[in-house]
Copies of this chain bind each other. A is one copy, B any other.
Amino acid sequence: MGFALEHGDLIDLALGAAILGTGGGGDPYIGRLMVERELDQGRRVEVVRLDEVGDGDHVIPTAMMGAPTCLIEKIPRGNEAALSLRRLEAFLGIRATCTMPVEAGGMNSTVPLLVGAQLGLPVVDADGMGRAFPNLYQDTFHVHGVPGAPMAITGERGDTAILMACDNVRREWIARGVTIRMGGCAHIAEYPMGGPTARRCAIGGTLSVCLALGKAVRQANEQHGDPFDRLVGALRETPYRHGRVLWTGKVIEVYRRTTEGFARGWVHIRDTEGPGETLDVLFQNENLVARVGARVVCSVPDLVCILDRETAAPIPTEALRYGQQVKVVGVAAPPILRTPEALEVFGPRAFGVDLDFVPLEELAP
């Protein structure tokens, strides 16, 4: 059965979403505040399980698109995603019966909640990435051959583009260009799909996973427990199963540029508990590959999460800075992201990194 999200849930959900966001998806803090305001005004956020989605349902996922660095200076107006969905509905001549996240990560876990509250639509407890990825086509819908077009992109001034593209990769290319012109971040409604397609292609339960991970970390901090132990323990109860602390250290250098509609760069983290080695993490909105010299310790699609060393609070890539004391946690991606077809879309080579993917469990700790 579905459930209604409460204020307290939102704190846990935003925290868990930022962990699965692996540095990207946008800081969920603003997204959480916006959803809280809707709840304060008496609106509801109704979450339904993926297997509750019916054959006659029309699912239109909603999200923020762009460089999270831009969100720091340009706070969303708040109605962009709902407007985007409405304009896509008008174009398609259908009405959505529910919305859904396209990525389980950062602000993009809260955007559909805001849309759900504003438009009175249930939000499906599922997504297409099981984490955050930078490109529009990096999701299980694309892996299953579902077209993301027609899609709508809406900026904070209400400008909207409806895109029909010949494939999802081309769609990303054009949509990214529109997003850049809209100021580096915009909101989208994409992958309009019937209920059966959603049930077949989405990764179910990821909003619940965010809630559970956030709750575990929050409670550990409240009870003065070890939030990393609790996080790893909570992961064991989810489709992610395996997580472990890969590194403990201090951020000694960050290189970050907002370019081509993405925040790209790398961070160096000096080991403070070992022989003084350095972990290098490459990112494109999201953390992609963590290496010590040539040795890979975790890579996409597995999750590289950079968390505050004391509280396990996730640090988004746009907030990384010199001197932060962190632990880096690796999390195994769900099996659906590790098939050969999925690895072509999510694996290291999909990001131009010439590496074979090796599951976290098989890499030397």
The answer, among B91, B166, B171, B182, for a CB contact under 8 Å with A162, is B91
Tell yes or no: A237 within 8 A of B by CB. Answer: no
Looking across the interface, which residue of chain B has its beta carbon closest to that of A181? B177
A160 on interface, CB distance cutoff 8 Å: yes
Q: Please, which residues of chain B bring their CB within 8 A of the CB of A180?
A: 177
Is A7 part of the binding interface, using a Cβ–Cβ cutoff of 8 Å? no
B residues less than 8 Å from A87 (CB atoms): 164
User: Is residue A158 contacting chain B, with contact meaning CB distance below 8 A?
Assistant: yes
A165 lies within 8 A of chain B by Cβ: yes
**Would you give the 0/1 interface string for A153-164, flagging 1 where the beta carbon is closer than 8 Å to chain B?**
000011111111
Chain A count of residues within 8 A CB distance of the other chain: 22
Contact partners of A163 in chain B: CB under 8 A: 159-162
- Closest B residue to A159 by CB, please name it: B165
Bound CA–CA A26/B12 (angstroms): 57
What residues on B are CB-neighbors of A132 within 8 Å?
none
Which 4 A-B pairs have CB atoms at the shortest separation, nearest pair first?
A: A177-B181, A162-B162, A159-B165, A160-B164
Q: How far is the CA of A199 from the CA of B162 in the complex (A)?
A: 30
The yes or no answer to A178 lying at the interface (CB within 8 A) is: yes
Chain B residue contacts of A181, Cβ below 8 A: 173-174, 176-178
Q: Does A37 contact B (CB under 8 A)?
A: no
- Copies of this chain present in the complex amount to 2
Q: Which residues of B contact A177 (CB under 8 A)?
A: 177-178, 180-181
Residues in B whose Cβ lies below 8 Å from that of A349: none
Contact with B along A80-110 (1 / 0, CB 8 A): 0000000100010000000000000000000
Contact residues in B for A170 (Cβ distance below 8 Å): 157, 159
Contacts of A173 in B (CB 8 A): 181
A321 to chain B, nearest CB (A): 31
Query: A158 to B173, alpha carbons, bound, how many Å?
Result: 14
Distance between Cα atoms of A91 and B92 in the complex (Å) = 9
A176 to chain B, nearest CB (A): 8
Q: Give chain A interface residues in 173-196, CB to chain B under 8 Å.
A: 173-174, 176-178, 180-182
Q: In whole angstroms, what is the CA distance A87 to B165 when docked?
A: 13
Bound: A157/B87 CA distance, A: 24
CA distance in complex: A182, B158 (Å): 23
Beyond A159-B166, A159-B171, A177-B180, 19 additional pairs, beta carbon < 8 A: A91-B91, A91-B162, A157-B166, A157-B170, A159-B163, A159-B165, A159-B174, A160-B163, A161-B161, A161-B162, A161-B164, A161-B178, A162-B163, A173-B181, A174-B178, A174-B181, A177-B177, A177-B178, A178-B178
Nearest Cβ on chain B to A69's Cβ, whole angstroms: 19
CB distance from A192 to the nearest CB of B (A): 15
16 CB contacts below 8 A, A to B, read A91-B91, A157-B166, A158-B166, A159-B164, A159-B170, A159-B174, A160-B163, A160-B164, A161-B161, A161-B164, A162-B164, A174-B178, A174-B182, A177-B180, A177-B181, A178-B181
